[in-house]
Structure 1
Amino acid sequence: MKNFFFGVFVFAGFTANAQDNFAPVFNKINTEVQSNANAYANLKNASETIGHRLTGSVNGAKAEEFAYNLLKSYGCDVKYQPFEVESWNRKTVAVKVGAKADALENVRAVTLAHSPVSANVSAEIIDVGNGLEADYQPIAEKVKGKIALIYLGVLPGSAKGTGSLHRSEKTAIAIKYGAVGVIIINTVKNGVLLTGTASVTGKLIPIPAVCIGLENGMALKERIKATPQFANLEMTNFSGLIKARNVIATFKGTQFPKEKIVVGGHLDSWDLATGAIDNGIGSFSVIDMARTFKKLGLSTKRTV
C-alpha cells in the first residue's frame, strides 16, 4: 500500500516529459520508506491512545490534533480547516426476539447508522433472504408491518449468479415494501457486528435498522421455519450538526503553484472500533508521504 500511494503522489507532483528520469528520486524514496517509515508505528500509537475517531466527538478532535502535531513535527506547513456537518451517532439499543411477543429474549446487536433518533417497534419477523427485489416479489403482501430479516451478502445456496447490494440499498427495498424494521445478519463468524450506515442518502431513515451476528442470525432463520418469531427493536440515537476539522499540510509548487494536486484520506472512523483499517492505514500512509518528502528535501512542480 505504501508503494502504491507513493507512486501516485510522486507521479502527480513531478510532472514528466520525455527526457525526465525519475529513477534516482524513486530510489531515494524507496530506500527511505523501507528503512524509516513511521506510518504503522504512528497508526498503532493513535489506535491505542485515542481509540475510535468519530467525527465531531472528543476522540475525533484528539485525532485531528494528533495528525496536526505529527505533520508539524515533520516541518510541514499545516493548518486546520474547520467545517460543520450533519452527524449521526448511536446511543442505546436493545433487540429482543422470540416465539412469543410477550416473552422475548435479548440478542446482541448494534444500531446501523442513520436509524431514527428514537424508535420502539414490535412486530413479527419475516425472512426475506438476501433482501433483493426478487426475494420480496413473491411475498410482497406479507412484508408490510413486519420486521425484515436480511442476510448482508449472498446466502450460501443462492441461485448461481445472484448479485448483492449494499446494506443501505437492501434497507431501502425493505422500506419500499412496508417493513417497520430491519435486522441485518452479518456474514463474519464469531458474533462480529457491523457498524456502517443503512441509509442510501446519508439522511435519517424512517425505520430502525440493526445488525446481529452470523450465528444468531442463522439460528433465527431456522426458528422462523418452524414457528413465527417476533422482535422488539428499541433505540435512541443522536442526529445533528457537529463541528470538526480537516488537517491540511501544503507543499507549495516550484513552477506551477496555482495548480493543485490533492492527496488525502478520511481520518475519521466509526465509534465501536479503532478504525485501523478504515481508514487509519490510508490516512497515516498519507502523513508518512509528507514525512518522506520533508526528510528528503523533495519539492514538487505543482502545489500538493
Structure 2
Amino acid sequence: MRFIFLLFSLFFVLNTTAQTDADVLKTIYTTSLTNGQSYQWLDHLSNQIGGRLSGSLNAERAVEYTKEELEKLGLDKVWLQPVMVPKWVRGAPEFAFIETAPGVTKTVNICALGGSIATPFGGLKAQVVEVKSFEELEALGKENIEGKIVFFNRPMQADLINTFEAYGGCSNQRYAGALEASKYGAVGVLVRSLNLRHDNFPHTGSMTYGDLSLSERIPSAAISTNHANELSSMLALNKDLKFYFSQTCQQLKDVQSYNVIGEITGSQFPNEYIIVGGHLDSWDLGDGAHDDGAGVVQSMEVLRLLKESGIKPKRSIRVVLFMNEENGLRGAKKYAEVAKQKGENHIFSLESDSGGFTPRGFSFDCSDANFNQVLTWQELFKPYLIHYFEKGYSGADVGPLKSDTNVLAGLRPDSQRYFDYHHAANDTFDAVNKRELELGAATMASLVYLFDMYGLAK
C-alpha cells in the first residue's frame, strides 16, 4: 500500500508540474499576442532607423535605440560591449546593362556583394562566360576565362523543402566566386541572386578575397533572378554579347561599435547564464526587418514577457544583440571571448535569425541527454502547432559559445518565403506579419522559461 501511495504521489507531482508549465506557457503566449511590444519595436527599428550595415550611422542609432528600450524594461543590468567592426560602404547606386550589339543594350538589376571592390572608373565591360560550379570554371581554364566576366548561375535547388539547405548548396559561388574566378584571369564576377523566387531584386551578401592582394581582386556583384535567367538565355543565342557594370563600393578602416546586452540576474543560480539573441546589423538595401530585425525584437521581447508574466528566473537571463553578423561575426566572437575570460557558464543559448515568419519549432546542438530532455517538453508546444524539435544547426552568433556540456538552439520559423527577402531591398517592415512575429517571441520565451526552470539534463 505504501508503494502504491508513493507512486500516486509521484504521478500527482509530475502532473501538477506539467500543468503548471502549461499554464505558464499559456500566459506567455497570451501576453505576447494581446500585449506584445515586438512589432512596435520593429516598426521603429525598420522605419525610423532603416538598414544597419556594420560601421554605419544607422547601426549606431540602432545601438542607442535598443539600449534605451531595454533600460525601460527595468532589467537588472543593461550595457554596451565594445567591438571593432569592418566598415564597407556601397557608394553610388550600381548600374548594369547587357550589350548585344554596339548601342543595343538592356538595363538589368545588380548590386555589389558586401566586401567587393569597385569597378574601374567609368565601369567595366567585357564578354561573359557562364558557369554553374567551380568545377566548370576549372574545366574551362584560363584560356577561356581570361579577360572575361564570370557569371555564376547555379540556382537554389527548388525541390528541397528546407530552403536553408538549398541556400547552403549554392552560397559558395557568392562567397568565393571572385576568389576562384580571379585565378583564371577573370576581370569581374556576376552571381545569380540566392532566391527561389523569380523577381527583379538582386540579393547582396558577404564575399571574400581570401589572401589576394588588392591588385589581384576583381569586382563582384549579384544579379536578380529574372535578369540572370534573361542573361543566360541571351548567352545561349549570342556568346559574344558583352556585359557592363559600374559600382563604387569601398572598404574603409575598422570602426568601433557595440553589442547591446541586458540581463535579469538569476535568483538561485546567478552564475549560470541563459542567453537569447539576434544580430543588430543588417545589409543596407532594405531595412533588415526579417534579417535580423525580427530576431532582435523577439529576443528583447523574451525578457519583457518573462517580467510581464511574473516569472522570476532562477538563472541569469541575458538578451544579446550582436553586431556584425553579416560581414564578419565580430560581435559574436567578442561576446564569447569576454565570456571565456570571465569564466561565465553559459548553459543555454538561443538565436533567432531565420526571419519573423510562423514558428515551427527549434533545432538543437547538444548532447543526446539534453535533447531527450527537450523532447519531454514537446507536448507543451503542440497546442501552438510547434512540432519541429530536431538536432541540428543553432545559429552563427551563438556558435562561438559551444561547449561539451551546454545547449545551443535556433528558432525555426517556416522558411518557404525567407529567401524572397533575404539580403534584398524588399526586406522591409511591411513584409513582416505582426501575429507571426509575436508567436515567435512567445515560443522563444517559453523555451527559455523551461531551460531556466529545469537547467541541463543530469
- Regarding TM over 0.5, the answer is yes
1:231 aligns with 2:243: yes
Rate the CA distance shift 1:190–1:30 in 2: closer, same or farther, 3 A: closer
SS at match of 1:148: strand
What are the equivalent positions in structure 2 for 1:234-253 lying under 5 Å apart? Answer: 234-239=246-251, 240-253=253-266
- CA–CA distance in 2 between the matches of 1:215 and 1:202? 33
SS at match of 1:261: strand
1:165 aligns with 2:170: yes
- For residue 181 of structure 2, what is the aligned residue in structure 1? 174
- Report if aligned partners of 2:126, 2:243 keep a CA contact under 8 Å in 1: yes
**Cα deviations across residues 25-57 of structure 1 (Å, max 9, x unaligned)?**
333323322321221232123212112122222
Q: Which of 122, 127, 137 lines up with 2:125 in the alignment?
A: 122
- Report if aligned partners of 1:101, 1:230 keep a CA contact under 8 Å in 2: no
- Report if aligned partners of 1:168, 1:199 keep a CA contact under 8 Å in 2: yes
What are the equivalent positions in structure 2 for 1:35-114 lying under 5 Å apart? Answer: 35-76=34-75, 77-92=77-92, 93-100=94-101, 106-114=107-115
- For residue 304 of structure 2, what is the aligned residue in structure 1? 291
- Report if aligned partners of 1:185, 1:213 keep a CA contact under 8 Å in 2: yes
**Cα deviations across residues 1-43 of structure 1 (Å, max 9, x unaligned)?**
xxxxxxxxxxxxxxxx999653343333233223212212321
Count, aligned residues: 281
SS at match of 1:283: helix
Kindly indicate whether structure 1 or structure 2 has the higher relative contact order, using CA contacts under 8 Å at least 6 residues apart. 1
Shift of 1:275: 0.8
Rate the CA distance shift 1:44–1:104 in 2: closer, same or farther, 3 A: same
- CA–CA distance in 2 between the matches of 1:118 and 1:101? 21
- For residue 3 of structure 1, what is the aligned residue in structure 2? none
**Cα deviations across residues 47-103 of structure 1 (Å, max 9, x unaligned)?**
121121222222112212221122122212312222211222211333343135787
- CA–CA distance in 2 between the matches of 1:103 and 1:47? 40
1:219 aligns with 2:222: no
Rate the CA distance shift 1:24–1:201 in 2: closer, same or farther, 3 A: farther
- For residue 146 of structure 1, what is the aligned residue in structure 2? 148
Shift of 1:217: 2.3
Rate the CA distance shift 1:118–1:105 in 2: closer, same or farther, 3 A: same
- For residue 5 of structure 1, what is the aligned residue in structure 2? none
Shift of 1:170: 3.8
SS at match of 1:63: helix
**Which stretch has the larger CA shift, 294-303 or 244-253?**
294-303
Shift of 1:272: 0.9
- CA–CA distance in 1 between the matches of 2:108 and 2:185? 24
- Report if aligned partners of 2:110, 2:222 keep a CA contact under 8 Å in 1: yes
**Which stretch has the larger CA shift, 76-85 or 102-111?**
102-111
- Report if aligned partners of 2:134, 2:180 keep a CA contact under 8 Å in 1: yes
The structure that is helix-richer by fraction is 2
- CA–CA distance in 2 between the matches of 1:18 and 1:201? 57
Shift of 1:179: 2.0
SS at match of 2:91: strand
- Report if aligned partners of 2:118, 2:219 keep a CA contact under 8 Å in 1: no
- For residue 6 of structure 1, what is the aligned residue in structure 2? none
**Cα deviations across residues 98-145 of structure 1 (Å, max 9, x unaligned)?**
1357876643321111111564543211111x2x13322442231222
- CA–CA distance in 1 between the matches of 2:210 and 2:269? 38
- For residue 281 of structure 2, what is the aligned residue in structure 1? 268
SS at match of 1:220: helix
Query: With structure 2 as the length reference, what TM-score do the two structures score?
Result: 0.55
SS at match of 2:135: helix
- For residue 363 of structure 2, what is the aligned residue in structure 1? none
- CA–CA distance in 1 between the matches of 2:210 and 2:22? 45
- Report if aligned partners of 1:71, 1:290 keep a CA contact under 8 Å in 2: no
SS at match of 1:210: strand
Rate the CA distance shift 1:101–1:242 in 2: closer, same or farther, 3 A: farther
Letter in 1 for 2:191: I
- CA–CA distance in 1 between the matches of 2:67 and 2:136? 49
Unaligned runs of at least 5 residues, structure 2: 1-13, 159-165, 318-458
Letter in 2 for 1:296: S
- Report if aligned partners of 1:101, 1:231 keep a CA contact under 8 Å in 2: no
**Cα deviations across residues 246-272 of structure 1 (Å, max 9, x unaligned)?**
111011122222222221110111111
Shift of 1:200: 7.4
Letter in 2 for 1:177: Y
Q: Percent identity?
A: 29
Letter in 2 for 1:91: G
